[in-house]
Amino acid sequence: MNRIGIVVKPNKEEALSVARELTSWLAKKKVRVYLDSIVAPSIHPSLSCPREEIGRWVDLLIVLGGDGTLLSAARHLEGEKVPILGVNLGALGFLTETTLEELYPVLERALEGNMETEGRMKLHVTVLRRGDKVGEYAVLNDVVISKSVLARIINLRNSINGAYVTTYRGDGVIISTPTGSTAYSLAAGGPIVYPSMDLVLITPICPHTLTNRPLVIPDRATVEFTLETEESDVRLTLDGQVGCDILPFDRVVITKAQNHVFFIKSPFKDYFEILRTKLKWGER
């Protein structure tokens, strides 16, 4: 392993400082470094590489920031089987599970080939309008169909593998991977799902019918939602970062993506310790 990429949360001085130190440390190890072009001018301009291309050149990708930075970096990998080491410099950090204190010990192990990776499933999302494809996306965390602040209740007709399930009436719906089960879905009352599992979670947002509860389905299912409301102020949001407007009778089709994202697991903690720490289980 002699080519490592670094993606940094922009405008965060702590992250930039860590990136400068890390770049020097890797250079001493004779590792070729590729820096995200967004921050490279502030660190080492000659090592700049566009974020959307960095996955083609590296054996490992280090993300310095929070979960949002990691989601952005994972999206730009576009299916490249590059393991990601997420270092938490943000707030909660479910995905960026490695602490700053653990960074160099974990890297030493990785450079020696002594690392364990974990694959996380993604979702493939297609937006159809009158039969024409108007949008196509890959998602690691979740897909959210929701109304705007001032919009009325929306109706979302749901079918799975062509079979009608129900029509959700409320503020919207979240379609989540196991990785995304600790994000918006959890806040909306969804369950926590072990992140390496392959399944899809559907969680309604403030449903008008209180018996509409979260639904867990197999990863091989094809999930479809149709907006059956004349309300036009409805938004499709992907991983909380990108999205598009949804018009009446648009269809959103969701399937399991063909590729996974691979995370380097911390040798110093397991998933349940992360849950206890982040969610403060056991504290009074």
Q: Which residues are catalytic?
A: 67
Which ranges in 30-189 belong to alpha helices (H)?
40-43, 67-77, 103-111, 184-187
Read off the tokens for 215. Answer: 């639904």
- The β-bridge partners of 121 are 260
Burial class (CB in 10 A: 0-12, 13-18, 19+), 102: middle
DSSP 56-93: GT-SEEEEEE-HHHHHHHHHHHTT----EEEEE-SSS-
Distance, CA of 167 to CA of 156 (rounded, Å): 5
Burial class (CB in 10 A: 0-12, 13-18, 19+), 249: middle
Contact 249, 134 (CB under 8 A): no
